[in-house]
Chain A
Amino acid sequence: MQSAEEKQAPQGWKRIGRAIMDAALVPVLAIFSAIIVGGVVIAVVGGNPFAAYLGLIQGAYGSTKAWSETFVWATPYIFAGLAVALAFKGGLFNIGAEGQLAFGAVATAWVGYALPGMLGVELPAILHIPLAIGAGMLAGFLWAAIPGALRAYAGGSEVINTIMMNYIALNITSFLLNGPMKDNNPLNVIARTPEIAEGARIPVIFDGLRVHWGFPLALIVAFLVWYLLWKTTFGFEIRTVGANPDAAKYAGINYKRVIVLTMALSGLLAGLAGAVEVTGLNYRHELGFSIGYGYDAIAIALLGRTHPLGVVLASILFAGMRNGATRMQFLTQIPVDIISVIQALILLFVAADAIVRYIYRIKAKEDRLVLTRGWGG
């Protein structure tokens, strides 16, 4: 069967369709397997998996409002997923999306609420929104450039460094939001910034629904990342360094510069996730309990096979699960933590695609991500 297909090389659209099929086959089967295993888990502990999944689907995609909320969740997921995917393409593992996102959000919130007062003028939205978002991007860019530089020039593993910088970022944001940046409205008692100015807010797309223009922005940014990676010289350099750093050196690529910039751009995208959450949805930054954007972003990037289109689709799926979980819990009282189990299973099956290929008898195509390098020293 395989050989027959190889003989007649398909043409044009058919070829693209086949490529998508090939790329999507393992992720789709991985999702399918994870849903089945997750269902077994629910059944074992005494729940009804069908009711749970039905509630999940209703809550995620069952109505206009549900779709709107799913897109609201998907927006930061797309940015953060792209951040991790871009780093993967450059052979770097960014576990630090969480911290970069938090820093982006803090910087954006500051520009959003403090800048008009400092300048003494009301800024028009056309200026204020880009300034606020730009600040968030810059914060993420600089914060991630640190582990990038440590990796390039001192050989320190970005894996541990980004994890450590997550904790550092959490501590610093806790400090800022409890102290200098705390909302000093007398009725406020929690760690959060004041509300950003009206002019710094991204408007919603439809009245009465929360989905805002940040979602289309995320799609545009996904396209830009694709364009950067596959249509520009710099993108070629990123992919070369990622695929084979030695070859990159011999080809005369300044690979240290590429590593720093890749990491920084990855941080910029994660910072953008935080910036858009603040300007488009929450209108302030508030300390929440860790909800694990960083890990979700890794799962999304891997499920999307580190391709921007895949990241967008994976984000919409993960967003649907997070969003639909509310309705699932409302209807069946199955704890929302089951979503984390299903997500971990998806990631397991995607990462170990050999398992999926073995179960479903698919011939392997060698396309492995190789990231593990030494810890430096």
Chain B
Amino acid sequence: MKKMYVMLVALLLAAMLIPACGPTAPDCSKVETFCVGVVTDVGKIDDKSFNQSAWEGVKLAEKDLGAIVQYIETTDAKDYDKNIATFADENYDVVVTVGFALGEATVAAAGKYPNTKFIGVDQFQGAVTPGLAGLNFPEDQAGFLVGALAAQMTTTDKIGGVFATDAVPPVWRFGEGYRAGAQYVNPDIEIFVVYHSDVGFDKTFTDPEWGAATSKSMIEKGADIIFGGGGKTGNGAVIGAVEAGALAIGVDTDQYFTLPEAQKGLLSSAMKLITPGVFDLIKLAKDGAFPDGNYFGKAGFAPYHDLDATVPAEVKAKMDEISAMLLDGSLLTNVAPVKP
């Protein structure tokens, strides 16, 4: 019994004497080091959605700009301030905060740490804060484009959209843009749009099984093209649609590459280009040309990939036309920025 205790104490002491190989933070206070940190919202860094896209933009900066990069995941909303401060206190040059939920914490941090530049993804800035750029996207235009595409490609005049939630504006803009785009091409088209708002907020983005079941159910009712949007729930809808033999449209990035299972039936994806947007802003920060206030990233639709041959030339031409009209402002989606 005594021996046991002696051994325990010895082990404890040994454990405490090993800090020789303890961790050290990179020194970001020097001018020549360029450090970029990411703070996620309560989603995870590998969410295959905006947190991950933002992180990939930062990793591009590691590769192309030689930046030292690091991320911190938030487990509880109360830690936003603390996690941002963890980077800022270590003199990071750029801190990327992902998601609207971090908006206020980011504004506060920008005021407190004038030497650090802040990039707020999906954070619309009501007023300009020096050192803070909000990265936003016209999701309604991307949704409009794929809606127009679906309306031209459907053979049953029934199309579907499966979305994670209507309470998060970017997702809502995708969904309503989709509806508007389809009706622009064909006012009589039948559109099933379903938002998975019926579960706790913690599940709406992470319920692929529901997404798959819903998109199959739409196909049984005659829809032949399904647009799936919103994290893993949307991914489930896309995969479910392709499995059931229908065409699918992905979201956020070109999902031809993120959802290989769906390649054979993936018509296109409604894209908001977070990764290049984040990278561009980091580069601007490095070059000393950081824009304060709102910065608009690009939105659009992805190539047809495997299905390119099945898309008629006139549809392609029409898509280019709509795309150009949306860009120069001669065509408006008429989607409100937030669900009324």
A-side interface residues toward B, CB under 8 Å? 1, 32, 48, 50-55, 69, 72, 167, 170-171, 173-174, 177-178, 186-187, 189-191, 210, 277, 281-282, 286-291, 322, 325-327, 329-333, 335-336, 360-361
The interface residues of chain B lying within 8 Å CB-to-CB of A290 are: 200, 202
Are A322 and B78 also in contact (CB < 8 A) when A50-B18, A55-B23, A330-B86 are?
A: no
In the bound complex, do residue A289 and residue B21 qualify as a contact, i.e. CB atoms below 8 Å apart? no
Contact of A282 among B21, B23, B77, B338 (CB under 8 A): B77
Contact of A327 among B1, B18, B86 (CB under 8 A): B86
Contact of B79 among A53, A190, A289, A326 (CB under 8 A): A326
Cα A323 to Cα B338 with chains together (Å)? 35
In the bound complex, do residue B73 and residue A329 qualify as a contact, i.e. CB atoms below 8 Å apart? yes
List 24 interface pairs A-B (beta carbons < 8 Å), by A numbering. Answer: A50-B19, A50-B22, A54-B19, A54-B22, A54-B23, A72-B78, A170-B199, A170-B201, A174-B199, A177-B201, A189-B167, A190-B101, A190-B168, A277-B78, A282-B77, A287-B201, A288-B201, A289-B201, A291-B75, A322-B75, A326-B83, A330-B72, A331-B25, A333-B71
Nearest B residue to A286, CB-CB: B77
Nearest B residue to A48, CB-CB: B21
Q: Is B82 an interface residue (CB 8 A)?
A: yes
The interface residues of chain B lying within 8 Å CB-to-CB of A191 are: 167, 201
For the complex of A and B, the 9 pairs showing the least CB-CB separation, nearest first, are: A170-B200, A331-B23, A287-B201, A51-B23, A289-B202, A290-B202, A289-B42, A189-B169, A54-B22
Q: Is B70 an interface residue (CB 8 A)?
A: yes
The interface residues of chain A lying within 8 Å CB-to-CB of B76 are: 288, 291, 322
Return the CB mask of B165-183 against A: 1 if under 8 Å, else 0.
0011100000000000000
Q: In chain B, residues 1-37, which have Cβ atoms closer than 8 Å to a Cβ of chain A?
A: 1, 4, 8, 12, 15, 18-19, 21-25
In the bound complex, do residue B202 and residue A330 qualify as a contact, i.e. CB atoms below 8 Å apart? no
The interface residues of chain A lying within 8 Å CB-to-CB of B202 are: 170, 287-290
Q: Is B277 an interface residue (CB 8 A)?
A: no
Cα A191 to Cα B338 with chains together (Å)? 13
In the bound complex, do residue A32 and residue B167 qualify as a contact, i.e. CB atoms below 8 Å apart? no
Contact of A286 among B15, B72, B101, B200 (CB under 8 A): B101
Q: In chain B, residues 195-251, which have Cβ atoms closer than 8 Å to a Cβ of chain A?
A: 197-202
In the bound complex, do residue A178 and residue B24 qualify as a contact, i.e. CB atoms below 8 Å apart? no
In the bound complex, do residue B82 and residue A32 qualify as a contact, i.e. CB atoms below 8 Å apart? no
In the bound complex, do residue B75 and residue A189 qualify as a contact, i.e. CB atoms below 8 Å apart? no
In the bound complex, do residue B200 and residue A330 qualify as a contact, i.e. CB atoms below 8 Å apart? no
The interface residues of chain B lying within 8 Å CB-to-CB of A281 are: 78
Nearest A residue to B337, CB-CB: A189
The interface residues of chain B lying within 8 Å CB-to-CB of A277 are: 78
Nearest A residue to B76, CB-CB: A291
Q: Is B187 an interface residue (CB 8 A)?
A: no
Are A331 and B73 also in contact (CB < 8 A) when A174-B201, A288-B42 are?
A: no
Nearest A residue to B37, CB-CB: A330
Cα A268 to Cα B135 with chains together (Å)? 43
User: A-side binding surface: helix, strand, loop or mixed?
Assistant: helix
- Measured CB to CB, the closest approach of chain A to B58, in angstroms, equals 13
Q: Is B126 an interface residue (CB 8 A)?
A: yes
Cα A327 to Cα B79 with chains together (Å)? 12
Cα A312 to Cα B15 with chains together (Å)? 26
The interface residues of chain A lying within 8 Å CB-to-CB of B12 are: 32
In the bound complex, do residue A187 and residue B197 qualify as a contact, i.e. CB atoms below 8 Å apart? no
- Measured CB to CB, the closest approach of chain B to A77, in angstroms, equals 11
Q: Is B143 an interface residue (CB 8 A)?
A: no
- Measured CB to CB, the closest approach of chain A to B328, in angstroms, equals 28
The interface residues of chain A lying within 8 Å CB-to-CB of B167 are: 178, 189-191
Q: Is B100 an interface residue (CB 8 A)?
A: yes
In the bound complex, do residue A189 and residue B86 qualify as a contact, i.e. CB atoms below 8 Å apart? no
Most buried by A among B1, B18, B78: B78
The interface residues of chain B lying within 8 Å CB-to-CB of A335 are: 73
Q: Is B43 an interface residue (CB 8 A)?
A: yes
The interface residues of chain A lying within 8 Å CB-to-CB of B15 are: 50, 53
The interface residues of chain A lying within 8 Å CB-to-CB of B19 are: 50, 54
Contact of A167 among B21, B81, B197, B200 (CB under 8 A): B200
In the bound complex, do residue B21 and residue A51 qualify as a contact, i.e. CB atoms below 8 Å apart? yes
Cα A102 to Cα B86 with chains together (Å)? 28
Question: Besides A50-B22, A54-B23, A191-B201, 12 other CB < 8 A contacts?
Answer: A48-B21, A55-B23, A170-B199, A171-B199, A210-B81, A288-B42, A291-B75, A322-B76, A326-B82, A330-B25, A331-B23, A336-B75
Nearest B residue to A2, CB-CB: B1
Contact of A361 among B4, B79, B101 (CB under 8 A): B4
Are A326 and B86 also in contact (CB < 8 A) when A170-B202, A187-B126 are?
A: yes
- Measured CB to CB, the closest approach of chain A to B47, in angstroms, equals 10
In the bound complex, do residue A50 and residue B21 qualify as a contact, i.e. CB atoms below 8 Å apart? yes
The interface residues of chain B lying within 8 Å CB-to-CB of A178 are: 167, 197
Nearest B residue to A363, CB-CB: B1
- Measured CB to CB, the closest approach of chain A to B95, in angstroms, equals 12
Cα A72 to Cα B81 with chains together (Å)? 13
- Measured CB to CB, the closest approach of chain A to B175, in angstroms, equals 14
Cα A335 to Cα B79 with chains together (Å)? 16
- Measured CB to CB, the closest approach of chain B to A314, in angstroms, equals 18
Cα A335 to Cα B75 with chains together (Å)? 11
In the bound complex, do residue A171 and residue B200 qualify as a contact, i.e. CB atoms below 8 Å apart? yes
The interface residues of chain A lying within 8 Å CB-to-CB of B4 are: 360-361
The interface residues of chain A lying within 8 Å CB-to-CB of B192 are: none
The interface residues of chain B lying within 8 Å CB-to-CB of A177 are: 201
Cα A63 to Cα B238 with chains together (Å)? 48
- Measured CB to CB, the closest approach of chain A to B35, in angstroms, equals 12
Nearest A residue to B85, CB-CB: A65
Cα A1 to Cα B4 with chains together (Å)? 14
Q: Is B184 an interface residue (CB 8 A)?
A: no
Nearest B residue to A177, CB-CB: B201
- Measured CB to CB, the closest approach of chain A to B29, in angstroms, equals 16
Cα A173 to Cα B22 with chains together (Å)? 44
Cα A69 to Cα B76 with chains together (Å)? 13
The interface residues of chain B lying within 8 Å CB-to-CB of A51 are: 21-23
Cα A72 to Cα B82 with chains together (Å)? 11
The interface residues of chain B lying within 8 Å CB-to-CB of A52 are: 23
- Measured CB to CB, the closest approach of chain A to B119, in angstroms, equals 18
Cα A332 to Cα B72 with chains together (Å)? 11
The interface residues of chain B lying within 8 Å CB-to-CB of A173 are: 200
- Measured CB to CB, the closest approach of chain B to A150, in angstroms, equals 22
- Measured CB to CB, the closest approach of chain A to B229, in angstroms, equals 16
